[in-house]
């Protein structure tokens, strides 16, 4: 079963204090590339997230977004700068004595003084929190994989139809090929005969040999045989599991090469018209193969 490289997956894991949402979007790419966008405190498990996604996809570019609502595993601590506070208190005591102010210092006032109180946040990723994050990633990746498989089924149906069209076109080309070769041989023989008769006598056997050699160059039997073989291999690869996109891409290049050779050899309108149709189908196959994992 083939898989598409295009897909989307989304999952939400909810806890009492927070919820984790993971979204994964993938597109076609020559290799496997995974990019993760996540809150800063989760950067410590970024490699685990990439490995988790990589277990589900073998090829393609995947963008992973992770967001957290609620408590995010952040521990807050209150810190007082006691040394600075001692200086504030000493300064206020000195002011009271110098200016004879009879007013006691209130601690509420001290806490509002600049730079006395700071709230420090310590980001923590507990084992349980990390497991919940990875669980959301797994569920999103599973959804992504299901969508890629479903899209792969559509691609497979389309490719099989394209292959049938290629075979139908090759049958049409085969019908004209023998007659084209005969016409080409007769035409070439006549032209050589006309030219040589006007100037000098030539060996009839030599003329026939030269005509046969030139006519052989227009023979497309080997190209048709190889093209049929490529179509057969293509169908076999579609039945394989795993990443087969690169194999199919290489095979399409070979199919395109054979069709170009047929077009360059065939000096006939009927064949040339079918070659255009053949190349059109192969190009459509190539476009679809670009999206196969």
User: Which whole number is the average pLDDT over 202-231?
Assistant: 75
- SS3 of residue 104 by DSSP: coil
pLDDT-based confidence at residue 49 (cuts at 50, 70, 90): very high
The two tokens of residue 25 are 């979007």
Q: How confident is the model at residue 215 (pLDDT cuts 50, 70, 90)?
A: low
pLDDT score recorded for residue 203: 59
Residue 100 zone, left/alpha/beta (φ > 0; ψ -120 to 50; rest): left
Q: What is the pLDDT of residues 9-30, one digit of tens each?
A: 999 999 888 899 999 999 999 8
Q: What is the mean pLDDT of the chain?
A: 85
Residue 109, classified by CB atoms within 10 Å of its CB into exposed (0-12), middle (13-18) or buried (19+), is exposed
Which residue carries 């060996």 as its tokens?
203
Whole-prediction pTM: 0.70
Domains plus CATH for the chain?
Answer: 7-71+126-148 (3.30.230), 74-123 (no CATH), 152-289 (no CATH)
Position 289 scores a pLDDT of: 94
CA–centroid distance for 184 within its chain: 47
If one compares 126 and 255, the residue with the highest pLDDT of the two is: 255
67-95 average pLDDT score: 78
Strand-pairing partners, residue 216, are none
Please say if the pLDDT value at position 73 is more than 60: no
Q: What does the pLDDT read at residue 201?
A: 54
Q: Is the pLDDT of residue 147 over 90?
A: yes
- Tens-place pLDDT, residues 87-145: 888 888 887 777 776 766 677 777 777 888 887 656 667 888 899 999 999 999 999 99
State the distance between the two ends of the chain, measured CA to CA, in whole angstroms.
Answer: 11
Both tokens of residue 30? Answer: 């020559």
């Amino acid at each position: 079963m083939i898989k598409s490289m295009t897909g989307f997956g989304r999952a939400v894991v909810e806890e009492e204090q927070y919820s984790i949402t993971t979204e994964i979007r993938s597109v076609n790419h020559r290799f496997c590339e995974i990019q993760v966008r996540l809150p800063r405190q989760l950067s410590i498990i970024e490699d685990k997230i990439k490995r988790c996604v990589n277990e589900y996809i073998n090829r393609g570019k995947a963008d992973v977004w992770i967001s957290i609502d609620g408590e995010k595993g952040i521990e807050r601590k209150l810190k007082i700068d006691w040394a600075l506070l001692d200086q504030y208190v000493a300064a206020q005591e000195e002011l009271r004595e110098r200016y004879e102010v009879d007013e006691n210092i209130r601690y509420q006032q001290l806490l509002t003084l600049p730079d006395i109180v700071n709230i420090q946040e310590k980001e923590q990723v507990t084992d349980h929190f990390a497991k919940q994050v990875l669980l959301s990633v797994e569920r999103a990746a599973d959804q992504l994989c299901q969508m890629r498989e479903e899209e792969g089924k559509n691609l497979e149906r389309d490719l099989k139809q394209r292959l049938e069209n290629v075979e139908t076109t090759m049958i049409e080309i085969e019908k004209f090929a023998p007659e084209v070769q005969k016409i080409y041989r007769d035409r070439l023989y006549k032209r050589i005969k006309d030219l040589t008769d006007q100037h000098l006598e030539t060996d009839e056997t030599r003329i026939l040999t030269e005509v046969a050699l030139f006519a052989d160059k227009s023979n497309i039997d080997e190209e048709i045989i190889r093209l049929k073989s490529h179509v057969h291999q293509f169908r076999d690869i579609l039945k394989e599991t795993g990443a087969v996109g690169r194999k199919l891409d290489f095979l399409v290049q070979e199919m395109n090469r054979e069709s170009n050779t047929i077009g360059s050899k065939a000096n006939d309108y009927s064949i040339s018209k079918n070659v255009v149709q053949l190349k059109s189908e192969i190009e459509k196959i190539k476009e679809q193969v670009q999206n196969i994992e």
